[in-house]
Structure formats: C-alpha cells, structure tokens
Amino acid sequence: MQYNKLGNTDLELSQLGYGASPLGNVFGEVDQSVGIRTVHSALDWGINYIDCSPYYGLTKAETVLGKALKGIARDRYILSSKAGRYGPQQADFDMSPKRIRASLEESLQRLGVDELDIFLLHDIEFVDLEYVLAESLPCLEALKKEGRIRYFGVTGYPLLSLQKIVENYQLDCVLSYCRYALHDTSLLSITELLQQQGVGIINASPTAMGLLTARGAPDWHPAAPELIDCCRRAHQLCNERGVNITQVAMQFAVGHCAISSTLVGTANVQNLRNNLDWIEQPIDRALVAEIREIFDACSNSIWPSGRTENSDI
C-alpha cells in the first residue's frame, strides 16, 4: 500500500481509504458483524484512513464503526467524520456553530474516540456559502485551536462551491466525490488551485456510488438516464474484454498524483480484497481510452446538487 501526505498536514493517508457509509445500510442491509469484520480487514490489509458521517444511516454508520474501532490502538487509523448534514432534505442541514459543536461531541461519543483527525462540513452546496465562510469555518478553526480536531475541511459535489470556499478560506483539505472517476475527471480543473494553497485532496466514490459496478446504481442515484446508459455500454465493453468494470474504475481513480487518498465504500470483505489487489495491478490504458470515449460523448455526466446558485449545472 502506498501512503500519501495530505496537503500541508502531517497525515499520511493510505492510497485507498475506507468509506464507512455502507455500515449505515446506504447501499442495502448490512449485517453488523459483517460490517465490523470488513473494517478490521481494511486495517489489517494496510488501509489507515476511515471516513464516516452522522448522516450515513442517520448515525447508524458511526455507531457500527465505533463498535468496530473499540479496542483498536488509536494510532492505527486516521479518522474523519462530518457535521452539518443530518438527512436527505434541505431542512436537514444545520451548519451553525452551536450544532457543529454538539455534533462533534455526539460523533466522538458514537465513534469512541477523544479527537477526530479530520472534521468536515458535509455537502456545503446545500447551504449559503457566505454563511459557511462567516460562521461555520471559523467554528471549525476554533475547534482545531482547542485541540478537539486536528484538521478541517469541507465536502461537496459541485466544484464551483469547493473552489469558492478554497479561494476565501484556508482549509486543510477538501473531500470531493464522483468528480475523478472513469465517468468524469472534472476534479482536475481545480487540483492546481488546491495544490497551490496546500489543501489536501480526498477523492471519494471511485465506482461513482455504484454506477461503475456490475450491480449498477442504487435507486436513489442522481445520475441522468444518459449517464446510466453510458455506464451500461462501458460495462458491456469491459465484459467483451473479459475485465470487471470495477477493476478498471478502481485502478483509474487511485491513479492521479494530486489525490492523497480515494475512499471506497463496501461492507463486503471480498470486494475490499479485490479492490486492494486491483490497485496494485497495471491499468489497461488502451481499454481506459475506449471507455473514456464513451463518457466524453456523454453530455450529461454530472448532475445538479444543492442550491441552484451553488450547483455546477
């Protein structure tokens, strides 16, 4: 496993990180003991970075992850969690300093730790970015000074929102998802800015939240039918070549040097083992070029997210 420095922080994240959202049954019902075993396997196999949020399964994922981490030496893992998002609706967001502070304490308790290594505002595009800059981020900065968290940043889907925040506030890192994967590489439009500012880059969702898997996207997936169709064609092409599309997706997503860690979510030990094996194998560049041609022709490879004024489309 390769370990990469996260921006200007002193954290060295495993190239592949463990996204704990499936522990909250986000992609289907997961037996708790299976989820816990998967977390233990991730740590045993060299993954040192784990990400969670109170939003995943409405606190279930943090609760199960806390059980999995019980008794494990604190220096064996780097842990991020989030605040600000507590449900799927616009009304479920609260990025006020009061709620952020309470949320951190609740997360620390569920996770069974004294401190978070990384604390992130969850999906900033759903709230007023001026408020985030004026109130929420100064709260995270204060929590860092108080020693309750080590580093802070934001997560979000629209790149314009991430860019606006980074241009106006010194963050330690950003977590972007579905913007550097086989279907869409537009994260690269802001990587230079992030690097210039010393902001670490965490890339999430290498399978684009299931789109680039044989099982396909869950019902709630926001992708347009055209993109889903392109994924089906890419899947068919891979099948013809005798390659699993998720293998190519994993290899592609971890392959950019600007990205410190790529978070993949799975509660299945065999999937995790496959992902770890695949990223050590050379990528078939000719096949990637053919797959990219399919997605380059797709005029609908991103989707709206959050408030209209914060969305990329």
Q: Give contact residues for ligand NAD (rule: CB under 6 A).
A: 19-22, 27, 51, 122-123, 155, 175, 177, 204-210, 213, 246, 263-266, 268, 271, 274-275
What is the nearest approach in angstroms of ligand NAD to the Cβ of residue 96?
A: 19
| Between 137 and 209, CB nearer to ligand NAD | 209
Nearest approach, Cβ of 180 to ligand NAD (angstroms)?
11
- Decide whether 9 or 203 has the Cβ nearer to ligand NAD: 203
Q: Give the C-alpha separation, 182 to 297, whole Å.
A: 13
Q: Closer CB to ligand NAD, residue 51 or residue 143?
A: 51
Task: CB nearer to ligand NAD: give 86 or 146.
Answer: 86
C-beta nearest to ligand NAD: residue? 19
For residues 24 and 26, give the distance between their C-alpha atoms in angstroms, rounded to a whole number. Answer: 5
Smallest distance from ligand NAD to CB 185, Å: 15
- CA neighbours within 13 Å on the CB side: how many for 118? 31
Shortest Å distance, C-beta 231 to ligand NAD = 12
56 is catalytic: yes
HEC string of 136-167 equals HHHHHHHHHHCCCEEEEEEEECCHHHHHHHHH
The strand pair at 16-19 and 261-265 is best described as parallel
Could you give the C-alpha distances from 158 to 126, 187, 304, in angstroms and in order? 10, 10, 8
- Report the catalytic residues: 56
